[in-house]
Amino acid sequence: MAEHNLKASIEIPNQVNELLNRLHAYSYRAYIVGRCVRELIGGTSTVDFDIITDAEVGRIRAIFDIYNVNIDNLTKGEVVVTVQGMPVLIAPYRKGFTEKGAPIYTDSIIEDLKRRDFSFNAIAYNPREGFVDPFGGVDCLLGEQAVVDVIKIADDDEKNKDEPATFERNPVSILQALGYYSSGDYVISPATQEAIFMYKDYLNDAAPADLRTELSWVLHGRNASTVLEEYAEVFIALIPEFAALADFSLKRPEYSCDALTHTFRSVGYASPVLTLRYAMLLHSLGKPDCFSEDASGKGHFHGHAERSFLYAQKIMRRMGFSEDETREVGFLIKNQSVEITNERRSLKLRLREMPPERLKSILQFRYADLKARSPDFEGAAMACKKQIDAVNEIIALKECYTLHQLAVNRYDLIQGGLVRNDEHANTVLERLLDMVIETPAFNTRQRLLGAAEKIMRDIIVK
């Protein structure tokens, strides 16, 4: 077993120490492990602690029977013990799981650590023994920037030489590695980068739900566009529909790169809202199908929004997204070409058609798309920002843009004897709303009732 003299110290809560000491009192070895160790070494506070031990699961239950013990995940070999309000997961050493999800126990902590994919997640610690770090995870965390390094088994290890590589065994780890990189807090080691490209096609063997979770983590990161561009081959393996965008020239002066690069860059300019970032990721898929070239050699993509929408629906359903998520992403893609002027009146007319958050999402979509084009479109992109500010101001000032915000309603018109039937009431209210959208200060009861009377006289005359 390799032990590491760490160049930094970590402190663990009294509750966790209490559980470790209780296991030690019964002559068992016990360590905190995984994410909590990584975060503590990195100087991040955490309340999510896992303990591994050489005690069998039945002994763990018996040792902690004086505590609040949750055994909901006992079939996975996991027990959650709550001490002084802190839940801590405790499990025996496990080297993996069967195809049916049953734990495969081991008496070796090294075997348990080895299954954790990345070296910085394969570090165990307790205050008595210090750090157990057989794969150099501590060094990966203590450099100028943390390094994602896949666990490697020595070539001369006869016992493990036939064991599959990490990414072959667990291809979802490819996206996990890219998720760390996308967060901006990690870089990927050359060996891990090579392995990612080598095993990228194994992503097809992973469960859609796992792929969806990890892809969402990648897209949410502040370095998402960098990851997408540098590892384009991986994302083509994950979503084969991207292959048609690679090296596809849009043949328009406003695009300074091919369709796939533009798509990936647009993700990085979008706010870190997953539905918006997925919309950016999938918004150009229909362009190759709809491409035409005019006499001057300029490219056109008539109908590409609808075509891209169909691709997006297919992909998201394949990956198991919820209907709400699929619907929201589809809405943004279908409406990516909607014309919205900078006039305040135009924004209010759009607000009559859709909720404010949806309108702002469309404007955020347009901003990201324009920013990902050539620098010549910086002004147009900033105009989108101003439109978003204007929408926020309209909402903050409670300016009227819907019928229910008018200072009068159908009942007022009927009670005042201003209208003869529902048809008249609808006509009058619509005209009043048009007036208020144009002039917000006109939205007072007295002014609207006076205007309603005049509108009704005009209707009768006609």
Among 159-173, 406-420, 428-442, the minimum mean pLDDT is found in 159-173
Query: What is the chain's mean pLDDT, rounded?
Result: 91
pTM of the model: 0.86
Q: At 166, is the pLDDT very low, low, confident or very high (cuts 50, 70, 90)?
A: confident
Write down the pLDDT at residue 223: 97
157 pLDDT more than 80: no
Q: Which of 262, 275, 280, 438 is nearest to 347 (CA)?
A: 438
pLDDT for position 312: 97
Span 229-250, mean pLDDT? 96
Fold of 144-238: Hydrophobic Seed Protein (1.10.110)
Indicate whether 151 pLDDT > 50: yes
> pLDDT for 47-81, tens place per residue?
899 999 999 999 999 999 999 999 999 999 999 99
Q: What's the confidence (pLDDT) of residue 297?
A: 87
Boundaries of every domain in the chain: 3-137, 144-238, 248-396, 403-461
Predicted confidence at residue 315, as pLDDT, reads: 97
Give the model's pLDDT for residue 2: 44
Q: What is the reported pLDDT for 288?
A: 95
| pLDDT given at position 254 | 84
3-137, what's its fold?
Beta Polymerase; domain 2 (3.30.460)
Rounded to an integer, what distance in angstroms lies between the CA atom of residue 14 and that of residue 170?
Answer: 35
Full 3-state SS string of the chain: CCEECCCCCCCCCHHHHHHHHHHHHCCCCEEEECHHHHHHHCCCCCCCEEEEECCCHHHHHHHCCCCEEECCCHHHCCEEEEECCEEEEEEECEEEECCCCCEEECCCHHHHHHCCCEHHHCCEEECCCEEECCCCHHHHHHCCCEEECECCCCCCCCCCCCCCCHHHHCCHHHHHHHHHHHHCCEEECHHHHHHHHHHHHHHHHCCHHHHHHHHHHHHHCCCHHHHHHHCHHHHHHHCHHHHHCCCCCCCCCCCCCCHHHHHHHHHHHCCCCHHHHHHHHHCCCCHHHHCEECCCCCEECCCHHHHHHHHHHHHHHHCCCCHHHHHHHHHHHHCCCCCCCCCHHHHHHHHHHCCHHHHHHHHHHHHHHHHCCCHHHHHHHHHHHHHHHHHHHHHHCCCCCCHHHCCCCHHHHHHCCCCCCHHHHHHHHHHHHHHHHHCHHHCCHHHHHHHHHHHHHHHHHC
CATH architecture of 248-396: Orthogonal Bundle (1.10)
Of the chain, the percentage scoring pLDDT greater than 90 comes to 75
Tens-digit pLDDT profile for residues 107-122: 999 999 999 989 999 9
Confidence of residue 245 (pLDDT cuts 50, 70, 90): very high
pLDDT above 90 (res 447): yes
Note the pLDDT of residue 89: 98
Contacts of 205 by beta carbon, 8 Å cutoff, 6+ apart: 171
The predicted pLDDT at position 462 comes to 59
158 confidence band (pLDDT: 50, 70, 90): very low
- Tracing tokens 């902690």 back to the chain, one arrives at 64
- 304-318 pLDDT, tens per residue? 999 999 999 999 999
What percent of the chain clears pLDDT 70, i.e. is strictly above it? 95
Cβ(30)–Cβ(52) below 8 Å: yes
Most confident of 29-38, 96-105, 141-150: 29-38
The neighbouring-strand residues paired with 292 are 300
Per-residue confidence band for 156, with pLDDT thresholds at 50, 70 and 90 = very low
Residue 160 has pLDDT above 70, yes or no: no
Measured CA angle at 336 (ends 227, 228), to 5 deg: 5
Instruction: Give backbone dihedrals phi and psi of 64, rounded to 5 degrees, phi first.
Output: -110, 25
Judged against a pLDDT cut of 80, whether residue 163 lies above it is answered with no
Cβ(347)–Cβ(394) below 8 Å: yes
Q: What is the pLDDT of residue 289?
A: 95
